[in-house]
A and B are shown apart, each in its own frame.
Chain A
């Protein structure tokens, strides 16, 4: 190939030179170039190495279907592999290199694979290395696991950066009446027609310029410019550099806009890419058609490309891509290419597979009845052998020297997006291509995407599609438009010969692979695809699928439609993971919840941990303290004096209405109907199947006004559950539930000096004595300074304890009162770790124990299940399986040797019988400051009574090993609750 940039012509800006680097050397191109066109103009012919055989590859197309010029772009953290050079806009400072080659694409040691190509047929690796004889005859994949690593290294595409992606990506939503995909003659006309009729239109173009096929024809520039100006005037919203990669339910389209990929120094405030979710009432697909090649020996040699690609390079990029050009065609479309190349100074020979030729373009030598048989040359094409039909096959007929071989095997309309919606493509034998199948959805094909070949017809097709999208009944131009019918040719080979005739060049699938698959019994096209990997490369078979199908059909002795086609799936072209993630990365991967005391806690030395979406205080380490030392100190301080813990994250739900009490009575296992105003009650709710769902206290604030608290992590689930019950099961109950979690800042103040601490913070004269505020009492309070809140005497720690709530914005005010009072009495702040220690000592359950498998009896709370009223789960908790005597029961666990510890998650087994799932498991372990040794909670069959005096092993084979333990009552500290009521 001896491509050269012409002095004039094309759409590049010769006044705007651009320098870029390719494989470490600096080259120059112009504004308006793609990386491919710039490399071509600089005489670079070998741009990549193929997937399996490491064959040298050059530019094969001028668009998304590119299978040869696949390169890596960018450096460092921004290195991106598998970029199609034909789609990469050139910019100043662009850095690109070849991939899948060592040391480089010009001299690649991996090319030795090509010498052994006869072995690398479809399924070669599996057949050879799985159960490798004689080592693993007929069994095993052990050796495969080793070989696979080497194979992966040898075969493949480029490598992604291992560094974190430094760029930002946006998500965005858009709505429109009509979405037009593609801005060629059909797309522009569709957009203009709809917009002029008053519709809100979005026009999406993957290229950086509007125009589609207009861009390849200088004679059409005036028409293009007028259309582009008209759609702008008509108010069409235009997105260039944007690919509609998928269509989904209800008119949803997924787009990726490449915002800064073409800029040398992008504004740092701009995202690199933008992921659009567009909801359109109707969609017009003017996605064009892709020219396909023909399978013949050496059809992948650099210097072989599609005929239309040469036209793009000539007319759009001002490059004569070869001097001696042979064009091998099966249809009329290559005649215009031949004429343009000849006019630009090329010596053009046009070989038409069809026998009868009507008229040769000026200056073009015609060779009718010939098709390409094989190429000659090393790094680039130097000649082509042509064949003529003989009987059912071909025989060699001629040889032409050339430096550029253009092939047109026909055109494949881009029906991918319609196929995403399940519209099965239908084979059109006259045009030798698939057309979009019928669909009930408002999706309308237009232009060459609908098999319409002539530009005028495409324009009319676009108008018709827009009018159909607007609900009119319009006749669309019929597919076709060539003067003489296409003569389908899919593969040219001499009978009995073997050759590398590529069907899918990107995955190195050759015609023989398809035939081998047939010989080995593959019939279904879906199986063929997976066995040969045909169409499974990053281009999803844009080039090769039709040829592969045709070869399979031939092998089966059937017609193409009888073999079927595979369904296209999104994305049409690859989408960066970063674009899918958008801004929901790192700390924003999940929405993060902070309590109103978050910053206050941090200022006072908190280390935070995650609880669901919440950030909660974990522990407050003093200088030099470990987490263990910190929580033991905190828990001990609570037992000795007082501690303050942020509990704002507990779920809080306002339950209001005249039927609120009745509602709660049905939801909770215990009675709530007669809960007095100003009192709280601990409640447990079950699922329908009788398993415990959640627990918490509910406070009666008024006759028809309750405040339900839930666990932090189950708040959302409980809220949804209550809504579901009210909306579907008991819509007649007059109850409203509203989440008020975010309204309150809440703390637990616990310890023998809790009352004293709080009293110091309340307005003078406020009485919170046991008489005024008994255990489980609730009352409104006013803090010093006037902040109004709620106080409830509730204990999770087993100490005298209160929960104090104030409006969220006033949380810090509350802490600024409470903390000095606490310090004054020798108290401390405590976090989840100490809270855990305190509740384990008391045998109070949390999510670790109520894990969605346990019944209320398992958790030792069976006496809270009323026998006097119905409630959710009342019936199914009585199932035989849930009432077996040997069900696991909540127990306390002590290490036999009190100096030892054991692990949460360990299995509890009878001593000497460590096997299987054991008799139970450990749910929580802590060091107990009150007892002075490690303790745990867990479940064991039959409960602690059944294991009194028996030896039990806490087995943890992969971590700590076996520890001898004793099973005790779960109420390990202050079982009578004296301290709590004190």
Chain B
């Protein structure tokens, strides 16, 4: 129980649902993970970017709407002045606030990985974003809205990662999976 309890624990029942045939969508929760926010001031943007990149073990911090993968985690540029560092470990030491403000947001989000041939199509049931490969290629990140709730979406090589605010996660997960069964849903 060291990792605590997932917000979607009771709903995350491994198995397949939907019509027989190919599995269109796979959904898995990824936890634990560390989530650290780096926020810059207008005139320290470059400096904070450097600090964020160093914390992630990446060469440079990504520009707006993009991600960068480093040895210690993935940096997401979620706002003009803010990066999120997504770490694999359940806990990371909070870096000392350098030029900007650093904030531990771990446990505030439920992290779902959505993959499969119909993943983008499923996400478009709830997200008003153009998720075509041309408009939202691998390495893209967006702050968007799911049933009026602010969520963060990131595309990696294998699919999409959706960060849901923890308190909304169970409710939004129900909507997502109810929409997903028509494509053949596998919950890992």
Residues of A within 8 A of B (CB): 168, 170-175, 200, 267, 269-271, 277, 279, 583-584, 587-588, 591-596, 599, 614, 648-649, 654, 656-657, 704-705, 734, 736, 738, 740-743, 786, 807-813
Contacts and interface: CB of A to CB of B under 8 A. Distances in A.
B1 A813 contact: yes
A583 B178 contact: yes
B108 interface: yes
Nearest to B182: A269
B114 to A, nearest CB: 15
B161 to A, nearest CB: 17
Contact of B167 (A742, A786, A807): A742
B130 interface: yes
Interface of B: 1-7, 10, 17-19, 31-32, 37, 39, 41, 81-82, 97, 100-101, 103-109, 121, 124-130, 132, 135, 147-149, 165-168, 170-172, 174-175, 178-179, 181-182
Given A267-B182, A742-B166, A808-B7, A594 B41 contact: no
Contacts of A809: 3-7, 31-32, 107
A591 B4 contact: no
Contacts of A270: 19, 182
B62 to A, nearest CB: 19
Given A592-B170, A657-B41, 4 more contacts: A654-B103, A736-B103, A809-B32, A810-B4
A743 B108 contact: yes
B167 A593 contact: yes
A175 B81 CA distance: 28
Contacts of A583: 175, 178-179
Nearest to A259: B182
A743 B171 contact: no
A656 B40 CA distance: 11
Contacts of B178: 168, 583
A595 B165 CA distance: 11
B7 A743 contact: no
**Main secondary structure on B side of the interface with A:** loop
A866 to B, nearest CB: 27
B119 to A, nearest CB: 14
Contact of B168 (A168, A591, A648, A740): A591
B5 A812 contact: yes
B146 to A, nearest CB: 8
B121 to A, nearest CB: 8
Contacts of B181: 269
Contact of A588 (B19, B39, B125, B147): B147
Contact of A811 (B5, B106, B165): B5
Given A584-B147, A594-B171, A809-B3, A743 B107 contact: yes
B149 A807 contact: no
A620 B37 CA distance: 38
A969 B107 CA distance: 44
Nearest to A741: B167
B93 to A, nearest CB: 13
Contacts of B107: 742-743, 807-810
A175 B135 contact: yes
Nearest to B35: A743
Contacts of B125: 170-173
A210 to B, nearest CB: 22
Given A809-B5, A811-B5, A743 B106 contact: yes
Nearest to B126: A171
A273 B121 CA distance: 16
B4 A271 contact: no
12 contacts: A170-B179, A173-B129, A267-B182, A269-B17, A269-B182, A270-B182, A583-B179, A593-B167, A596-B5, A596-B166, A738-B37, A743-B107
A61 B171 CA distance: 46
A591 B164 CA distance: 12
Contacts of B128: 173, 277, 279
B4 A742 contact: no
Which 7 pairs show the lowest CB-CB distances between chains A and B?
A809-B4, A743-B108, A656-B101, A175-B130, A592-B171, A593-B167, A742-B166
Given A591-B172, A596-B166, A704-B97, A656 B7 contact: no
Contacts of A174: 124
Contacts of B171: 587-588, 591-594
A599 B81 CA distance: 37
Most buried by A among B4, B19, B100, B147: B4
Given A170-B179, A594-B170, A269 B106 contact: no
Contacts of A704: 97, 101
Contact of A740 (B7, B108, B121, B127): B108
B185 to A, nearest CB: 9
B39 to A, nearest CB: 4
Contact of B101 (A171, A269, A657, A741): A657
Nearest to A274: B125
Nearest to B172: A591
